[in-house]
Amino acid sequence: MNYFLAIGLPFLIIMVFGSGLIKFLKYLNFGQQIRGVGPESHLKKEGIPTMGGLLIIIALIITSLVVLELDTYISWVLIVTLGMGLVGFLDDISKIRTKSSLGLRAREKLFGQILFATILAVYVYYYTDIRTSILVPIIGWEIEMGIWLIPFIIFFVVGFANAVNLTDGLDGLASGVTAIVSTSMAVLTIALNYEQLTLFGLMVGGACLGFIWFNSHPAQVFMGDVGSLALGGAISAMAVVARLELFLVIIGGVYVIETISVMIQVSYFRFTGGKRVFRMTPLHHHYELGGLEEVKVVSRFWILSIVFALLGLASYYVI
């Protein structure tokens, strides 16, 4: 019963309060700022309410109070989720106040992300009985990290938070991919007997499904950095506590390829003095500029995410 409640309650909360919050965001004039260098088709999205990720966070908080045992390790997963969401919130507010797409300075944003990732790393290493090794997919080996687990966790959590943020560029893309990823992580944590993490993963999946109702094309609201960073913090913190970091790299393959596309583009641009590998990055924009409709890009990335999820699950169950 708790599993159904974990999925259904956040979905129901967003369905009930979604329209009201969207109207409130419109009243506050919290509209999306669009980069001038983006696809021309995105210019019509200027002014659509952003910061809809608050819906996801509110749904997760309420459901956590009902479903989760907050006196366990799950409270630290929530701290990272809310902390990353706070960084995103400040970034979104900065964009709205300055009426630009830039937001916080890169170092300010990174400092906040590192702060909450460090809190989780220190907690896991010093204050839990969670082993300091990470599981290797397929072969089942464990890599002992020792004290190096702390910088590894920081890099991993910050990296995935930003990877989800990069993926959030088309209507329904990040929310759909994250619904698939978080639900797949819940399946793995069931196998490892992490009941609280399983419930949390299902909660994230349910919240994302509810958000898709309003965020699918044409979007009525965008999640903003408050939503994408919170979701990135949520799934990465889940992986850290369950020692499933390398499995998340496979399951979250869409996040990974989106991030790698940006890294390749920036590196090649600097090395060649202005040449590009892709039409535009992250990768979803490359296909958009190639003439593929936004809805088709999103649906194909969802399919790709399901494939990565199945590969990630298979990499555990063959151990």
Which tens digit of pLDDT belongs to each residue from 172-205?
A: 999 999 999 999 999 999 999 999 999 999 999 9
- pLDDT tens track for 29-49: 877 666 655 666 665 677 789
User: Which one is predicted more confidently, 40 or 60?
Assistant: 60
pTM: 0.94
Most confident of 129-133, 242-246, 273-277: 242-246
Residue 92 has pLDDT above 70, yes or no: yes
Residue 310 has pLDDT above 70, yes or no: yes
Angle, vertex CA 139, rays to CA 134 and CA 144, nearest 5: 25
- pLDDT tens track for 109-147: 999 999 999 999 999 999 998 999 999 999 889 999 999
Q: How far apart are CA 222 and CA 212, in angstroms?
A: 10
The pLDDT confidence band at residue 266, using thresholds 50, 70 and 90, is very high
Which of 45, 80, 7 is CA-nearest to residue 215?
A: 45
* 63-68 long-range contacts, CB within 8 A, separation 24+: 63/5, 63/6, 63/9, 63/10, 63/13, 63/203, 63/206, 63/207, 64/200, 64/203, 66/5, 66/9, 67/2, 67/5, 67/6, 67/9, 67/199, 67/203, 68/196, 68/199, 68/200
* Span 142-170, average pLDDT: 96
Average pLDDT of the chain? 92
